[in-house]
Amino acid sequence: MGPVIAVTGASGQIGGRVARRLAEAGTAQRLVGRDASRLPDFDGAVKAPPASYDDGAAMRRALEGADTLFLVSARESADRVREHITAVDAAVAVGIRRIVYVSFQSAAPDATFTFARDHWHTEQHIRDTGLRHTFLRDSLYLAVLPAMVGAYGAIRGPGGQGRIAAVAHDDIADAAAAVLLGGDAHDHLTYDLTGPEAITLAEAAAVLTRFTGRLIEYIAESRDQAYASRAQYNAPAWEMAGWVTSYEAIATGEMAKVSTAIPMLTGRPAQNLAGYLTTHPQAWEHLKA
């Protein structure tokens, strides 16, 4: 039996895809999730005892025997950094030697997008452990663009004329699998994982218009307008700030960089929005005329 990779979020969009790719490569895995009944069945994969990131003891049990941790970031919350730190500390405690962490493009302590700050603080804690590590900083998911369309067929937000190099879940998973299987060649490196082009929200709306057969528009909002238009959801302050600042980070160009990491790691081009919508019609069928 070779080295064992612990895959967190193994029932989710990224972790599940990565687990499938590792299984196809014949890699031994421990699949980690909060609900073991939702974990997939793959040859060579062991379903770990249920664990959530904020439960250090449960995470230690779930990671026992693994050599590498593939750490998918937790769902956004007011205390997400603490959850990540607890998970990382559990990995250190059981002898994990390497962490591959799914971060976010332009992660920084002063990032415009508040959730990107969470990722930076998590990266710093991983660095401080002294473990071998790789950071995968993905851009916004391509799947989010059709989901941004609200009532009356409009994308609304303070994104200005900024550009976004959105990326497909499948491309992230392919790149992550290549890093996990690539050994120490990727140690202490950070990869931006993006699509092949950076487009404005108005351009995204035009592509969605072409696919759906109905007019989809981008309506630029000010910060005050953005908060007002989302007030109906009664979201907590931290979540509202994340929603609004995600658009503001587009406006500042913090999601505009196009990286060649995906073709370099996978040997094939990354998907653009039109390609994604072609292969994933379920992502936009609800928007059809």
Query: What tens digit of pLDDT does each residue of 265-285 get?
Result: 999 999 999 999 999 999 999
Residue 64 has pLDDT above 80, yes or no: yes
Question: Contact at 8 Å (CB) between 227 and 241?
Answer: no
Q: Name the phi and psi angles at 215, rounded to 5.
A: -75, 120
Mean pLDDT of all residues in the chain?
Answer: 97
**Cross-strand bridge partners of residue 45:** 29
| C-alpha separations of 166 from 197, 198, 201, 240, 270 in Å | 8, 7, 11, 21, 10
82-102 pLDDT tens trace = 999 999 999 999 999 999 999
Helix (H) or strand (E) holding 227: helix 223-230
Segment 120-123 long-range contacts (CB within 8 Å, at least 24 positions apart) = 121/81, 121/84, 122/73, 122/81, 122/84, 122/85, 122/88
109-131 average pLDDT score: 98
Q: Name the phi and psi angles at 66, rounded to 5.
A: -90, 155
142-183 pLDDT tens trace = 999 999 999 789 999 999 999 999 999 999 999 999 999 998
Residue 206 has pLDDT above 60, yes or no: yes
Distance CA 55, CA 274 (A): 41
Question: Contact at 8 Å (CB) between 106 and 113?
Answer: yes
Q: What pLDDT sits at residue 231?
A: 95
63-79 average pLDDT score: 96
Q: What pLDDT sits at residue 183?
A: 87
Angle CA 57–58–62, to nearest 5: 120
44-60 average pLDDT score: 97
Comparing C-alpha atoms, which of 27, 25, 24, 8 is closest to residue 16? Answer: 8
DSSP-based three-state secondary structure for 255: coil
Residue 289 has pLDDT above 90, yes or no: no
Q: What pLDDT sits at residue 1?
A: 53
Q: Give the pair of three-digit tokens for residue 156.
A: 């609304």
